[in-house]
Chain A
Amino acid sequence: MIAFTLNGAPTALDLPEDVPLLAALREGAGLSGPRFGCGVETCGACHVLIDGKSVPSCMLPLSAVAGRSVVTVEGLGNEAAPHRLQAAFLAEQAGQCGYCLSGILISAAALLATNPDPDEAAVRAALEPHLCRCGSHNRIIRAVLRAAREGAVA
């Protein structure tokens, strides 16, 4: 049994210690936000926040998060109370297929937490681990900058 905090709530999963965190989140915790894209930490689709840091979850053993805080895209916000990044992504229509967005939102959230007023270069750098095949990059960059602006006002 591995105990950790998932999206703010205490959670315990009865899975082998070496099960990848991504599999544990999807199968064990029933989440769908973190996505499988490559399985070897090269595409960014599975990123989650661990103690506030954006990391790939596809190779990390579940045991590594024992006692720590894990936040997935579901934990950022929901339709009733969206995170300002989620609101900004909708406002900018930042996506096409949307498969990459869960991971990108997570890295953007980590960026804004440490750098509330990033410039475009900082956004691009923060999103460099993430692939988007539909070519929604410019909209995504605009959405992150919008969220930063709106966060500054709030």
Chain B
Amino acid sequence: MPYPTDFKYTKEHEWIKADGKGASIGITSHAQDSLGDIVFVELPKAGAEITKGKVFGSVESVKAVSDLYAPASGTVTEVNGELATAPEKINKDAHSAWMIKVTLKDPGELTSLLSAADYEKFVAEEGGN
């Protein structure tokens, strides 16, 4: 699964795609593959504040629970309601199955995140886990 080069990535396996102050957030293809069949996502409501590096929700597969960490700070503007009933969409195409949309507090925060190439290298070094 290629990692889009216009996304930024975290070491906790989230991606963020920003366009000015607006951004969408999801988990990476590698994350969904490690988790396996995803059956449950818990996301904040529109209007909630998220803080870079802090937990903003969780995702569960049959076998495991995993926290979601905010790649950047901001205010949630929209939640992908489809994932409540069809969380398997994340397995099918993790990079288009966005979880939340946010208005970024400071788009400059993104510069500290990983590029697609850095993230791929990070995953390879992590030994696939």
Verify that A and B bind, or say they do not: no
Question: Which of A's residues lie within 8 Å of B, judged by CB?
Answer: none
